[in-house]
Amino acid sequence: MNITKVFFSRQFLWEIVRILAVGIASLLFYLQVVPLPVLLAAMAFGLYSLIKVAATDLIKERKIGTEIFITIAVIISVLGNEYLAGSVVLMIILIAEYIASASGERARASIKELIGSVPKSAIIKKDGREETVQINDLKIGDIVLVRAGEKIPVDGKVTGGSGSVNQAPITGESTPQEKMVGSDAFAGTIVELGALDIEMTKAGKDTVFSRIISLVEEAESQQAPIEKYTDKVASYLIPVVFIFVGAVYFFTRDVKLIIALLIFTSPAELGLATPLVTLAAIARAAREGILIKGGLFLEELSKVTTIVFDKTGTLTIGSPIVNKVEIIDKDFNEVELVRFAAVADRRSSHPLAKAILSYADTLKVDYPEPTHFDVIKGRGVKAEVDGKSLLLGNKSFMEESKVTVSKTRVNITDTAIYLAADQKLLGVFYVSDAIRKGAKTMIKGLRKSGIRNIVMLTGDNPETAKFVAEQVGITDFRANLLPEDKINIIKELQGDGAKVAMVGDGINDAPALVQANIGIAMGAMGTEAAMEAADIVLVQDKLEKIARARAISKRAFRTIRENIFVGVGVVHVIGITLVLLKIIGPVEAAAIHLLPDTLVFINSIKLLRVKIKD
């Protein structure tokens, strides 16, 4: 959303009117065009909103904010007959408050802009015709037609057509994804080319899109520890400030001096310095497909010293793939072996069968239906095709079927699937859970970013665990673990003083995700349990997003330190010094007061656009 549109939107109309009313009345009073009662009326109109906020904060939240300081300053200016100074101060402070309000809305607008909006209506196919219905009237199982340029209104499966879909609003991916029959589709994404028939599986609040919106909205209310700390510091400073200002008045009896001091001793920027950064960082992360559930978790991530990874589904893809095809009978080539294996496994639902069928699809191998098919439980399958009797299964199955098996093996982590035709061994398929792309690079990056300890936990055997750990560059791994063992290991690490982040799939690892200081769930599209269990949710199965999330969190807290030091510390200390030396008065103080507000705003909002290195 354009910054101009945010700052001049209708929701800020009355704030703009108050600023103009006080400003025009001050100018006309200075030119002696209007009498004092008109100026006082304009000041009362402008002061009303500040008094309302001040009273609400004081009564409901037991909080003393900048509004009380400014209200007191303006009242003192009136009682001390410094009418023009009071009115100009009020106008400038109203401008500062307006900037603060619009700043927060700019960050929220970026979230709305990022996610966009789901269409209010959809075209459904029913009884051979197309019909436009309201989204709320859709039912599970309805077939929704989405054409090029339109947003997908529901979560579902593609049942017809094909197309290129921009999934950036959900995943942060810049490259459109190709969708075909059987592909998942998500509400809020955009069909750029082609047209899709989508069978609705989720709608309304159950869609991934809606859950992302809910998570980001909830994140705004989760205060970071540093935010609570600045609120606490502000509450302690306030009585000290009033005592200081009272003492200055006791010795000087200078009303203008007191008005100027009240402006510079206000803790406004201390309250603005943190939440605005947190909101901008959460919005930035959401744009990149990283859902951070609040400022608390944003801050914790920046302090993490140890990261614990689950193996299966995190460092590995969680489903078997064919690594190698060994040809035993040289009368056949790889394509022929893959064709025979795919025919044999065509009707099988076993995960290893899916790996072989997927490999056949990758090689674009056509395979017919078998003329005969049998599943031998715990062993493999029998099938017939082109007059050949095929056997596909484990070593025991081959031996029981009197097929001679050679003693070949690629590595200890592979599962060997043997293929035989007419009692003769043709080849061996080696299948294993593949290392996730980018895992090794990600581990290197995390070490460079300051993570001292990286641990891999798995319920798998030690040999497999060692192989995967070596492949990705992890030296510390634990194997043969039950879910409760993972929790105990995390507790042990925390007991040694480590801040621990646990990365898992969000379902099997839910207890460990909760035990860790930060739980990070991988690949949450369509996985409700992942969003519930974790503090940070990566919408895509991309390991580099972990380093990205940490980079955003570290940049956010660097920005907070800059805001507090420059926007609050330097400007206010210099301002108070200049006031006490009587170099500047109330009007100049109010004008300078705009500077830290503007600095904090610009420094915070830049998180939405600035380049952040991992």
Which active-site residues does the annotation give? 310
Name residue, tokens 């072989």: 356
Q: Quote the CA–CA distance of 545 and 531 in Å, as a whole number.
A: 16
C-alpha span between 275 and 295 (Å, rounded): 8
* Element of type H or E holding 522: none
What single string gives the DSSP state of each residue in 539-608?
SSS-THHHHHHHHHHHHHHHHHHHIIIIIIIIHHHHHHHHHHTTSS-HHHHHHHHHHHHHHHHHHHHGGG
Q: Which residues pair with 146 in a beta bridge?
A: 196
Residue 37 CB neighbour total at 10 angstroms = 8
Contact criterion met (CB below 8 Å) for 521 and 533: yes
Query: How many alpha carbons fall within 13 Å on the CB side of residue 512?
Result: 31
Instruction: Retrieve residue 306's tokens.
Output: 């140890």
Q: How many Cα atoms occupy the beta-carbon half-sphere of 536 within 13 Å?
A: 33
CA distance 283 to 296: 15
**Long-range CB contacts (within 8 A, 24+) of 496-500:** 498/305, 498/306, 498/453, 499/300, 499/303, 499/304, 499/305, 499/306, 500/304, 500/305, 500/306, 500/307, 500/308
Q: Residue 53 is encoded by which pair of tokens? A: 């906020």
Strand order in the sheet with 518-521: 290-292, 536-538, 518-521, 500-504, 306-310, 453-457, 476-478
Nearest Cα to Cα of residue 207 among 122, 285, 270, 283: 122
Q: Per the structure block, which two tokens stand in for 250?
A: 């006791």
Which of 139, 413, 167, 450 lies closest to 302 in space, CA to CA? 450
418 closest CA partner among 387, 388, 396 = 396
Q: Which long-range contacts (CB under 8 A, 24 or more apart) does 123-128 make?
A: 125/197
